[in-house]
Amino acid sequence: MSDRNVQRRGLMLVLSSPSGAGKSTIARALLRDEHQLSMSVSVTTRKPRPGEENGKDYYFVTVDDYHRMVAGGELLEHAKVFDNYYGTPKAHVERELAAGHDVLFDIDWQGTQQLKSNSSKDVVTVFILPPSVGELERRLRGRAQDSEDVMRSRMARAADEMSHWPEYEYIIVNREVDESIAQVKAILTAERLRRDRRPGLPVFVNTMRGN
């Protein structure tokens, strides 16, 4: 038996950050390079946008169906964002983890708290920080032509989000995006090798010992 065939339980990799810190760029690179990693697909009560596919971008559900899922404990985390509801279906994620596949979550600190509360042993949390407040503001200004009031609001929200960094296991300061991607990959590799995530190890070791 090769160690490549040792049974492994997947993990939930959570990436959180204030807007403009580079989280989406890092997530895209991980999904491109890590073939055992897939993006979590959320349920939502909002209407599909042009080009969006049910089951690929989101699972589009009615408000009644959403509340039924919440009441039935079918969502790992859920929240209302503006006028719509969002959540992560438990059954799909559990199937992926049991098959040894990892699932990537792009959620905020509140969703992360819910995930940790419901599935703490499977969750790996990473918070992405910008290298400085000035650099964060520069990135946000480069995205859109917002008014000064909107920019102040964005920066205040970012400050609030960054205040939750101590709640995460790993902290990455995103100075150079390639370096940050490599750091998250290193975290993913190390977490995949944890003894408690490799239930096939006893069989492998016993085989090596001739038992």
pLDDT value at 208 more than 90: no
For residues 34-42, give the mean pLDDT: 94
Looking at the domain assignment, is residue 90 inside a domain?
A: no
Tens-digit pLDDT profile for residues 129-144: 999 988 888 877 776 6
Rounded Cα distance, 93 and 85, in Å: 19
Rounded Cα distance, 149 and 24, in Å: 25
Tens-digit pLDDT profile for residues 42-64: 999 999 999 999 998 899 999 99
Looking at the domain assignment, is residue 69 inside a domain?
A: no
Looking at the domain assignment, is residue 95 inside a domain?
A: no
In this structure, are residues 171 and 165 in contact, taking their beta carbons and an 8 Å threshold? yes
Looking at the domain assignment, is residue 180 inside a domain?
A: yes
Q: What was the pLDDT predicted at 2?
A: 63
Looking at the domain assignment, is residue 118 inside a domain?
A: yes
Tens-digit pLDDT profile for residues 157-191: 899 999 999 999 999 999 999 999 999 999 999 99
Confidence class for position 20, pLDDT limits 50, 70, 90:
confident
Q: Which domain holds residue 161?
A: 3-40+102-208
Q: pTM of the predicted model, to two decimals?
A: 0.88
Q: What was the pLDDT predicted at 145?
A: 67
Q: What was the pLDDT predicted at 163?
A: 95
pLDDT value at 211 more than 80: no
In this structure, are residues 191 and 124 in contact, taking their beta carbons and an 8 Å threshold? yes
Looking at the domain assignment, is residue 107 inside a domain?
A: yes
Strand partners, 60: 44
Confidence class for position 147, pLDDT limits 50, 70, 90:
confident
Q: What was the pLDDT predicted at 210?
A: 81
pLDDT value at 12 more than 60: yes
Looking at the domain assignment, is residue 168 inside a domain?
A: yes
Looking at the domain assignment, is residue 166 inside a domain?
A: yes
Q: What was the pLDDT predicted at 45?
A: 97
Tens-digit pLDDT profile for residues 52-101: 999 988 999 999 999 999 999 999 999 998 889 999 999 999 999 999 99
Query: Is pLDDT larger for residue 1 or for residue 34?
Result: 34
Domain count, the chain: 1
Instruction: Report the CATH number at residue 152.
Output: 3.40.50.300
